């Protein structure tokens, strides 16, 4: 990006990239799955020991190199540009998946009155979206396309183009809306949940640790994965944003603010979900699947949120539009991580590049509006956002362990009082991050090879699983070939 962020604009853009559907939907489900407070403790430990040091390192490297992930990784290790391009490609694929989910969410929001005003639909609110809006069969067969979801996906891409067309200026400007509006509505939903008579029971379930959960390796792995996913680490966003950071900005305090905002939204979302579900008699509906939470649990709760059905419909529309804003900002940030290095490397026009990218990727994302969209999202999200991110994060942490020892000075440059503890920072980058992320990546791939792709059709696993995964990993070689021919 040619422009620089303002100091506040940088923090807003980073918070907008970090705070997304994982905070609002998946984090509360993981708390429910792993004994509430037990998961919170492990998550907080992983955030402090691994997440914040790696966040600081990515931002500092971006400011130092003044370029995106490919140049940053190349500055650490010879040939490291390939890893950076793989991160960029993986982020572009993630943006496509996010656009599909944002289209689903917007379509659900526009259908909220239809759901809440019909006794028939209220009775089966948990299956309303997939049966009535997307008309998915759950078998991966494409037999039609949802006009409403298609229109919503196109609108999402138009919004993403608006976020991208002027780089730092438009990203930070959009974040002023897409960060604060969802936080306000989630807070309002949490307040409404606290008004239920059994809200104390819900809060106890959320915050009281189940100490038996500490023995679960899956909880530790999920907490670690949530830290990296939630802070948008190892996907090229933070180096790209760091490249546009004003020179004298203080990195460590900014990272603490970003992490604090990220945790705050996760906790507010958890309070909102737990109290709402308990208050509506749906405590068993809380799931660690963000998709099930968004399209099965919340619709059933929102349909019974108020005695007045029109008020329920309005609450549903506002809630889903807030989620859609979060998805749009996260998706635009992912795409920015991919576009900014391309624009820099090949001297491209920002506006035209963003327009072409949004048009082409937007057309491809219409597959999520088909009757096979639910299967395609599940497969793509698992490969791109789990297996690939785990692999790319492990590789990045190895690079930092080898050559990132001097970044503590860059992180603390211009910091007068609040500084990153340099010994701990170095220990985290050299030892903790590489050891934990390599173990995490190996366990995730081992789990895949032992259980497979979750019963998805072979064509979906090949095209939207292995196809996307291997394409991302091969991106570095493709860019190098294009550069030689150019």
Could you report the per-residue pLDDT of 119-177, keeping only the tens digit for each? 999 989 999 999 999 999 888 889 999 999 999 999 999 999 999 998 888 999 999 99
Can you read off the two tokens belonging to residue 10?
Answer: 């940088």
> 451, 418, 385: which is closest to 101 by C-alpha?
385
Helices 309-346 and 475-485 pack at an angle, to 10 degrees, of 40
Q: Compute the distance between CA of residue 235 and CA of residue 385 in angstroms, rounded to an integer.
A: 10
The total number of structural domains in the chain stands at 1
Phi/psi of residue 286, nearest 5 degrees: -70, 125
Residue 2 lies in a domain: no
Question: Tens digits of per-residue pLDDT, 182-207?
Answer: 999 999 999 999 999 999 999 999 99
Which residue's entry shows tokens 């430990």?
Answer: 45
**Tokens (6 digits) for 450:** 């032992």
**CATH number, position 471:** 1.20.1740
Q: What is the mean pLDDT of the segment spanning 424-453?
A: 89
- Residue 452 reports pLDDT greater than 70: no
Burial class (CB in 10 A: 0-12, 13-18, 19+), 416: exposed
Residue 86 lies in a domain: yes
What CA–CA distance (Å, rounded) separates 337 from 238? 8
The confidence score (pLDDT) of residue 454 equals 63
Is residue 405 included in any domain, yes or no? yes
Q: Is the torsion defined by CA of 317, 323, 329, 335 positive or negative?
A: negative
Q: Which domain holds residue 86?
A: 7-485
Whether the predicted pLDDT of 425 surpasses 60: yes
Yes or no: say if 105 and 293 are a contact pair by the CB < 8 Å rule: no
Question: In percent, how much of the chain has pLDDT > 90?
Answer: 74
Report which of 22, 31, 354, 356 is spatially closest to residue 166, judged by C-alpha positions.
354
Task: Please write the tens of the pLDDT for every residue from 62-97.
Answer: 999 999 999 999 999 988 999 999 999 999 999 999
Decide if pLDDT at 2 tops 90: no
Would you say residue 26 has pLDDT above 70?
A: yes
Short-list 106, 30, 48, CA closest to 331: 106
Contact 258, 18 (CB under 8 A): yes
Domain presence at residue 63: yes
Write down how long the chain is.
486
pLDDT of 235:
93
Q: For residue 376, what pLDDT is reported?
A: 94
Give the per-residue pLDDT at 138: 82
Tokens 């200026």 locate to 169
Judge contact between 275 and 91, C-beta under 8 A.
no
Q: Cα–Cα distance between 395 and 220 in angstroms, integer?
A: 20
Q: What is the DSSP string of 341-358?
A: HHHHHHT--HHHHHHHHH
In a domain, 158, yes or no: yes
**1 in a domain, yes or no?**
no
| Average pLDDT of the residues in 281-286 | 81
Q: What is the pLDDT of residue 197?
A: 94
| Tokens, residue 183 | 């936080």
Q: How confident is the model at residue 1 (pLDDT cuts 50, 70, 90)?
A: very low
pLDDT digits (tens, 9 = 90+) for 307-328: 999 999 999 999 999 999 999 9
Euclidean distance between CA atoms 368 and 99, whole angstroms: 9
The mean pLDDT value of the chain amounts to 91
Q: Does 322 reside within a domain?
A: yes
For residue 442, name the pLDDT band (cuts at 50, 70, 90): very high
Class of residue 145 by CB neighbours under 10 A (exposed 0-12, middle 13-18, buried 19+): middle
Q: What is the Cα–Cα distance from 411 to 432, expressed in whole angstroms?
A: 18
């Amino acid at each position: 990006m040619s422009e620089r962020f303002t100091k506040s604009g940088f923090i807003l853009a980073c918070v907008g990239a970090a705070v997304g559907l994982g905070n609002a939907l998946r984090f509360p489900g993981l708390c429910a799955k792993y004994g509430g407070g037990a998961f919170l403790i492990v998550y907080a430990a992983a955030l402090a020991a691994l997440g914040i040091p790696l966040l600081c390192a990515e931002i500092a490297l971006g400011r130092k190199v003044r370029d995106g992930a490919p140049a940053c990784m190349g500055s650490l290790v010879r040939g490291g540009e390939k890893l950076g391009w793989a991160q960029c490609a993986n982020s572009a694929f993630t943006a496509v998946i996010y656009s599909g989910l944002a289209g689903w969410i917007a379509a659900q929001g526009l259908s909220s009155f239809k759901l809440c005003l019909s006794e028939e639909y209220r009775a089966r609110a948990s299956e309303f979206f997939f049966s009535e809006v997307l008309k998915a069969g759950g078998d991966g067969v494409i037999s039609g396309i949802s006009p409403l979801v298609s229109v919503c996906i196109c609108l999402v891409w138009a919004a993403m183009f608006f976020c991208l067309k002027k780089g730092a200026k438009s990203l930070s400007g959009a974040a002023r809306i897409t960060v604060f509006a969802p936080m306000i509505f989630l807070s309002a939903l949490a307040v409404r949940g606290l008004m239920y008579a059994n809200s104390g029971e819900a809060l106890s379930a959320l915050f009281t640790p189940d100490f038996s959960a500490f023995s679960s390796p899956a909880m530790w792995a999920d907490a670690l994965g949530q830290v990296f996913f939630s802070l948008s680490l190892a996907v090229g966003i933070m180096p790209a944003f760091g490249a546009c950071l004003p020179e004298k900005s203080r990195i460590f305090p900014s990272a603490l603010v970003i992490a604090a905002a990220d945790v705050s939204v996760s906790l507010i979302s958890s309070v909102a979900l737990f109290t709402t579900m308990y208050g509506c008699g749906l405590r068993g509906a809380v799931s660690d699947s963000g998709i099930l939470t968004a399209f099965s649990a919340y619709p059933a709760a929102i349909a019974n949120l108020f005695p007045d059905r029109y008020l329920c419909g309005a609450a549903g529309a506002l809630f889903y539009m807030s989620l859609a804003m979060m998805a749009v900002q996260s998706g635009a940030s992912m795409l920015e991580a991919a576009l900014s290095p391309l624009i820099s490397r090949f001297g491209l026009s920002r506006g035209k590049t963003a327009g072409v990218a949004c048009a082409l990727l937007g057309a491809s994302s219409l597959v999520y509006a088909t009757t096979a969209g639910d299967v395609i999202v599940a497969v793509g999200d698992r490969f791109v956002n789990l297996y690939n991110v785990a692999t790319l994060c492990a590789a990045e942490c190895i690079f930092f362990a080898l050559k990132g020892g001097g970044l503590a000075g860059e992180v603390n440059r211009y910091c007068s009082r609040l500084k990153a503890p340099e010994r701990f920072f170095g220990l985290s980058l050299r030892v903790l991050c590489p050891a934990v992320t390599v173990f995490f990546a190996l366990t995730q791939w081992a789990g895949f090879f032992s259980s497979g792709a979750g019963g998805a059709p072979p064509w979906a696993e090949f095209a939207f699983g292995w196809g996307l995964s291997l394409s991302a990993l091969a991106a570095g070689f493709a860019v190098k070939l294009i550069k030689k021919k150019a």
